[in-house]
């Protein structure tokens, strides 16, 4: 079975040198539930054109839930838009509460988002890398 972390890192590193990466575990073994996925990363030399390219690529994927790329801070975060809306932004302390609430109360959403993320990563692995 392929490693989702490795695949996501490889897909994102096609567009620049990664200096930081985070993908929460898919399944919480302690509490016995799937977790809503999101990708966080930082490029050594972030480029606005690459951010737009990734946003456009994600929007091309036929996902079950809406996704968005937040690049308002140093780290870029690709996440289901529902989290952003319900937490009122990533810097809000409610972010982790919203994620926890979705994890424990909406497994259907988590499974759809996990399926989406697989498609998004696969798409990012296959699209051409823009010239620098």
pLDDT tens for each residue of the chain, 132 residues long: 457 889 999 999 999 999 999 998 999 999 999 999 999 999 999 988 999 999 999 999 999 999 999 988 889 999 999 998 998 777 777 888 999 999 999 999 999 999 999 999 999 999 999 886
Q: Please state whether the predicted TM-score (pTM) of the whole model is above 0.75.
A: yes
Q: For residues 16 and 128, give the distance between their C-alpha atoms in angstroms, rounded to a whole number.
A: 13
Integer Cα distance of 80 and 47 in angstroms: 22
**Radius of gyration of the chain measured on its C-alpha atoms:** 14
State the DSSP code for 15. Answer: T
Please report the pLDDT score of residue 2 as a whole number.
Answer: 55
Those residues whose C-beta lies under 8 Å from the C-beta of residue 70, and which sit 6 or more positions away, are 76, 77, 78, 79, 84, 90
What's the confidence (pLDDT) of residue 131?
80
Cα dist. 34→15, 37, 60, 98, 103 in Å? 29, 9, 25, 15, 6
Domain extents in the chain = 4-126
């Amino acid at each position: 079975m392929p490693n989702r972390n490795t695949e996501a890192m490889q897909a994102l590193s096609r567009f620049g040198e990664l200096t930081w990466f985070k993908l929460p575990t898919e399944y919480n073994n302690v509490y016995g539930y799937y977790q809503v996925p999101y990708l966080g990363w930082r490029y050594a030399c972030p480029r606005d054109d690459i951010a737009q390219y990734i946003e456009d690529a994600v929007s091309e994927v036929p996902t079950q839930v809406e996704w968005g790329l937040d690049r308002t801070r140093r780290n870029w975060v690709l996440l289901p838009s529902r989290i952003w809306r319900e937490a009122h932004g990533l810097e809000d302390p409610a972010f982790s509460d919203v994620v926890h609430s979705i994890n424990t109360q909406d497994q259907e959403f988590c499974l759809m988002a996990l399926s989406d993320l697989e498609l998004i990563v696969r798409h990012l692995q296959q699209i051409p890398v823009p010239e620098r």
